[in-house]
Amino acid sequence: MAARVIVVTGFEPFGPHKENPSQDIARAVHGRRVRDHVVHGAVLPVHHADTGRHVARLLAELRPDAIVHLGLANGRARLALERTAVNVLDYALPDNAGRCIVGEPCATDGPAAYFSTLPLTAMHAALTREGLPAYISNTAGAYLCNQTMYGTLHALALVPDPPRAGLVHLPSLPSMVAVSGLDEPSMDLALMLRAVHVMLDVVASDLATA
Amino acid sequence: MAARVIVVTGFEPFGPHKENPSQDIARAVHGRRVRDHVVHGAVLPVHHADTGRHVARLLAELRPDAIVHLGLANGRARLALERTAVNVLDYALPDNAGRCIVGEPCATDGPAAYFSTLPLTAMHAALTREGLPAYISNTAGAYLCNQTMYGTLHALALVPDPPRAGLVHLPSLPSMVAVSGLDEPSMDLALMLRAVHVMLDVVASDLATA
Amino acid sequence: MAARVIVVTGFEPFGPHKENPSQDIARAVHGRRVRDHVVHGAVLPVHHADTGRHVARLLAELRPDAIVHLGLANGRARLALERTAVNVLDYALPDNAGRCIVGEPCATDGPAAYFSTLPLTAMHAALTREGLPAYISNTAGAYLCNQTMYGTLHALALVPDPPRAGLVHLPSLPSMVAVSGLDEPSMDLALMLRAVHVMLDVVASDLATA
Amino acid sequence: MAARVIVVTGFEPFGPHKENPSQDIARAVHGRRVRDHVVHGAVLPVHHADTGRHVARLLAELRPDAIVHLGLANGRARLALERTAVNVLDYALPDNAGRCIVGEPCATDGPAAYFSTLPLTAMHAALTREGLPAYISNTAGAYLCNQTMYGTLHALALVPDPPRAGLVHLPSLPSMVAVSGLDEPSMDLALMLRAVHVMLDVVASDLATA
């Protein structure tokens, strides 16, 4: 019998950022086992249209039990477990296709928002227990991270027995802050990687008992 | 011939903090060699009077070439290379003797401020090169960290050929932020330890060429 | 023919706050005329259950063309035109009935979120033109302000030709920050009152052309 | 007998700022009486060399009892009563002569710092009593505001019975934040003007009893 899959996605660097920790983590966790599951890590483009197509392909091909999107939220001090994705695209920082979008919906026929279907409360509790700074966030913004979370949940809305899905925002890497000269918080890659393991373990445990 | 010494001090936990990364680092670097120097790590009490006596003893007994004070500045996102210590004690958070001090001088006969005599610009450049977030800070506050830096530089002001001296403020540990629930930046201990090594190497190199 | 009505609500003080600018403004605008409309200002209790009942009564009795909720968001630097209300109650600061709620829906049968039906983009543009700091916010939090906005939009969801409805979060008053000793932004009441006039004028103008 | 004088200085706009509240206030208070004193308001250039010459002229011609420098510190939320000016110029934002300075002293022969000789504690208490957000700040930065405060105190260091002197940093104006789109605090000009009156009254009262 084939191993069950949890997909973890990261994003390419974008805008002024030469690095993106979500990409590094997606690569680092690829192939790891978490309880009964094997992790499939994938890097998504930062592109208003291609990103969704890439996710659709992952869902169709891998039929995962869960998909955890990781994204960069520079300026945040802690891991942000996103509670909600809203049906809004509104960003002035061009995506990697050079496109800005002001006040459009992610899906013209979609509801105002979707809730994450990841076990956020248990994930948050496990992270805190491990001394890893995290919080349950009330906004995933209106950039491509939010769009990806919204798009995935919208695509899964009509699927019977859909996989769990959601998004976690990561702080900047220390090296990004060192170079930028900005007074911004950061988090070490090793620490974030440990946090992702803790979260995936909660997800896998939750799937086992579901 | 006895090895030359660089002293690195940390502080005990204080106030609401159960941990203090400066203490952990002072212990971790004790006994390490940096170029021609051996590091002596020491943990200082957080006490308006005892701290200075403790430092005086270290200076008298070890006759170091440099003394680098490390302290905790929760809320800061980056390593803060303190440029200046001012002749002010002004704090509402009790020290570990239960004492608060409002608007008194560190030394009644002292000047308004002392500059750090550590090679801050070179330290900052080396940290940035290594991808470690740091900045040259214009205020060490008015709590015991500032007092310790001021007190050390004041004690050394009359010494011929005095050791280099200064203070670096550290962010909170991730575990401190996880427990507090506050939206505050943090820095992993391993990263801070690496940063202290980078800084000590610059100090030792600077002493060699001086 | 009776004048058409725009309702503006504020909240009582709550938690550690002795004042609440939203209350002051709701009182100050009561009875004013804005184009073809007369403003009805009302102060809502900060109470998980009573607040909604109070709003229901206002809607039933006054049959307004628009209802603009104002609330306090201490810590924010600018007027926050809330884009979305989410179906979540999650707060550790007791309401004025002494109640905390962790992770419950505003309405068990409700959708994940509602969008504000106020003309946010035009309101934002008018405020900026007048030199008044504002932004379109992606989260109204998970406290009673969000609940009130959600509850109103949920109540109006089945009404044919419903009034426009939404929420604007206000910064703290200067006097609140002066007393607290916290390093938080504030906004003068006169400035906020001017901003509310600018916003109501946009709402009334929008209603006239709708 | 000629009226005794308190000088209040502001600065021109600089860098990206089209406005500077300190300039507006210096003009607004010019000619006002505060107890036994008349206020002389003056606008200083933002120029590494001219600023000091301009202040020297004011001191020589007006022989004031006190000189209160006002400057803009965008990003700060409250009035910052500066405790200390340090002997450092270090700024990457060009002054209005197009000059940047990295790590030079304000005065090659000067001490590390000077303390403000304004009655900061009484000023802070009076502002708090009036509901005006303020704090005693431990750093005036390393830009021209700090240089001006340092330069004035350095020039007065050898004067017998010198006038009181110091610097207060002001937040941005609301209109500056509205235009910038930045998430920064601001303070209304009317409120800042009221705060300056409160502070000048404390200064004048203090001079009367000295």
pLDDT per residue rounded down to tens, chain B (210 residues): 467 999 999 999 999 999 999 999 999 999 999 999 999 999 999 998 899 999 999 999 999 999 999 999 999 999 999 999 999 999 989 999 999 999 999 999 999 999 999 999 999 999 999 999 999 999 999 999 999 999 999 999 989 999 999 999 999 999 999 999 999 999 999 999 999 999 999 999 999 987
**Mean pLDDT on D32-46:** 97
| Tokens (6 digits) for C143 | 């406290």
Element (H, E) at B172: none
- Chain position carrying tokens 């504000």: C116
Would you tell me how many other CB atoms lie within 10 Å of the CB of residue A18?
Answer: 10
| DSSP reduced 3-state for B104 | strand
| Long-range CB pairs of A50-54, under 8 A, 24+ apart, other chains included | A50/A97, A51/A144, A51/A147, A51/A148, A51/A151, A52/A147, A52/A148, A52/A151, A52/A155
User: What is the rounded average pLDDT for all residues in chain D?
Assistant: 96
Q: Which residues of A are catalytic?
A: 82, 145, 169
pLDDT tens for each residue of A158-183? 899 999 999 999 999 999 999 999 99
One-character DSSP codes across A138-198: S---SSHHHHHHHHHHHHHTTSSSPPEEEEEEEPBPHHHHHHH-----B--HHHHHHHHHH
Alpha-carbon dihedral B137, B141, B146, B150, rounded to 10 degrees: 80
Q: CB–CB of B112/B58 below 8 Å?
A: no
Q: What share of chain B is helix, strand, coil (3-state, %, to 5)?
A: 35, 25, 40
Taking alpha carbons only, the member of B79, B100, B82, B99 closest to residue B91 is: B100
Chains that contact B by 3+ CB pairs under 8 Å?
A, D
Nearest C-alpha of chain D: how many angstroms from C186?
A: 7
Compute φ and ψ for C149, nearest 5 degrees.
-60, -45
Residues D123-137: b if buried by 16+ CB within 10 A, e if exposed: bbebbbebbbbbbbb
Taking alpha carbons only, the member of D204, A205, D143, A138 closest to residue C84 is: A138
pLDDT tens for each residue of C15-31? 999 999 999 999 999 99
- Using CB atoms, pick whichever of A134, A181, A191 lies closest to residue B188: A191
| DSSP reduced 3-state for D42 | strand
Alpha-carbon dihedral sign for residues C94, C95, C97, C102: negative
**Quick one: pLDDT band at residue A3, thresholds 50, 70, 90?**
confident
Element (H, E) at B187: none
Q: CB–CB of D131/D33 below 8 Å?
A: no
Q: Taking 90 as the threshold, does the pLDDT of residue A107 lie above it?
A: yes
Distance (Å, whole) CA C204 – CA C193: 16
Element (H, E) at B116: none
- Asked which of A31-45, B2-16, C30-44, D183-197 is least confident by mean pLDDT, the reply is B2-16
**Quick one: pLDDT band at residue C1, thresholds 50, 70, 90?**
very low
| Tokens (6 digits) for B133 | 């977030």
Identify the pLDDT of residue B2. 61
**Mean pLDDT on D154-176:** 97
Nearest C-alpha of chain D: how many angstroms from C44?
A: 25
| Tokens (6 digits) for D158 | 């050898």
Percent of chain A with pLDDT over 90: 95
- Using CB atoms, pick whichever of D88, D136, D138 lies closest to residue B83: D88
Q: CB–CB of A88/A106 below 8 Å?
A: yes
Taking alpha carbons only, the member of D63, D57, D50 closest to residue D95 is: D50
Distance (Å, whole) CA C70 – CA C80: 10
**Mean pLDDT on D170-196:** 97
B178:A77 CB<8 A? no
Residues C119-133: b if buried by 16+ CB within 10 A, e if exposed: bbeebbebbbebbbb
A93 versus C25: the higher-pLDDT residue is C25
| DSSP reduced 3-state for A132 | coil
Nearest C-alpha of chain A: how many angstroms from C136?
A: 10
| B→A interface, C-beta within 8 Å | 77-78, 127-128, 130-135, 173-175, 177-179, 181, 183-188, 190-191
pTM score, whole prediction: 0.95
- Give the bridge partners for C67, in sequence order: C7, C165
Q: How far is CA A171 from CA A67, B127, C6, in A?
A: 20, 20, 42
| Tokens (6 digits) for D107 | 């005065």
Q: How far is CA B42 from CA A133, B31, B52, B72, in A?
A: 29, 11, 13, 15
Catalytic one of B17, B48, B154, B169: B169
Chains that contact C by 3+ CB pairs under 8 Å?
A, D
Q: How far is CA B189 from CA B28, D18, D22, in A?
A: 10, 43, 43
- 3-state SS track over chain C: CCCEEEEEEEECCCCCCCCCHHHHHHHHHCCCEECCEEEEEEEECCCCCHHHHHHHHHHHHHCCCEEEEEEECCCCCCEEEECEEECCEEECCCCCCCCCEEEECCCCCCCCEEECCCCHHHHHHHHHHCCCCEEEECCCCCCHHHHHHHHHHHHHCCCCCCCEEEEEEECECHHHHHHHCCCCCECCHHHHHHHHHHHHHHHHHHHHHC
CA D115-D120-D123 angle, 5° bins: 160
Chain A interface test: which of B175, B186, B193 (most A C-beta within 10 Å): B186
B185:A185 CB<8 A? yes
Distance (Å, whole) CA B206 – CA A34: 49
pLDDT tens for each residue of C49-82? 899 999 999 999 999 999 999 999 999 999 999 9
What is the ipTM metric for this complex?
0.94
Catalytic one of B82, B106, B124, B154: B82
A157 versus C1: the higher-pLDDT residue is A157
One-character DSSP codes across B1-19: -PPEEEEEEEE---TT-S-
Based on C-alpha coordinates, what's the Rg of chain A? Answer: 16
| DSSP reduced 3-state for D200 | helix
Residues A88-106: b if buried by 16+ CB within 10 A, e if exposed: bbbbeeebbeeeebeeeeb
Distance (Å, whole) CA D190 – CA C148: 33
**Quick one: pLDDT band at residue A85, thresholds 50, 70, 90?**
very high
- Using CB atoms, pick whichever of A130, A175, A183 lies closest to residue B78: A183
Q: Which residues of D touch C127 (CB under 8 A)?
A: 178
Would you tell me how many other CB atoms lie within 10 Å of the CB of residue D50?
Answer: 14
D86:B83 CB<8 A? yes
User: Which stretches within chain B are classed as H helix?
Assistant: 21-29, 50-62, 120-129, 144-156, 174-180, 189-209
Contacts of B191 (CB under 8 A, 6+ apart): A174, A188, B132
| Tokens (6 digits) for B78 | 């980056």
Q: CB–CB of D165/D118 below 8 Å?
A: yes
Distance (Å, whole) CA A84 – CA A149: 8
B177:A135 CB<8 A? no
| Tokens (6 digits) for C152 | 């109103």
**Mean pLDDT on A124-129:** 98
- Using CB atoms, pick whichever of D173, D178, D190 lies closest to residue C127: D178
Taking alpha carbons only, the member of D78, D206, D195, D208 closest to residue D129 is: D195
Would you tell me how many other CB atoms lie within 10 Å of the CB of residue B47?
Answer: 19
Taking alpha carbons only, the member of D169, D166, D208 closest to residue D192 is: D169
Q: Taking each helix axis from N to C terminus, what angle separates D21-29 and D189-209, rounded to the nearest 10 degrees?
A: 50
* Residue of chain C minimizing CA distance to D175: C131
Compute φ and ψ for B189, nearest 5 degrees.
-60, -40
Q: CB–CB of D142/D91 below 8 Å?
A: yes
- Catalytic residue flag (residue B106): no
Taking alpha carbons only, the member of A112, B19, D104 closest to residue C113 is: A112
Q: Which residues of D are catalytic?
A: 82, 145, 169
- Using CB atoms, pick whichever of C132, C181, C190 lies closest to residue D178: C132
User: Which stretches within chain A are classed as H helix?
Assistant: 21-29, 50-62, 120-129, 144-156, 174-180, 189-209
Element (H, E) at A80: strand A79-82
Q: Which residues of A touch B183 (CB under 8 A)?
A: 77-78, 135
Q: How far is CA D200 from CA D68, D194, D196, in A?
A: 8, 10, 6
- Give the bridge partners for C82, in sequence order: C137
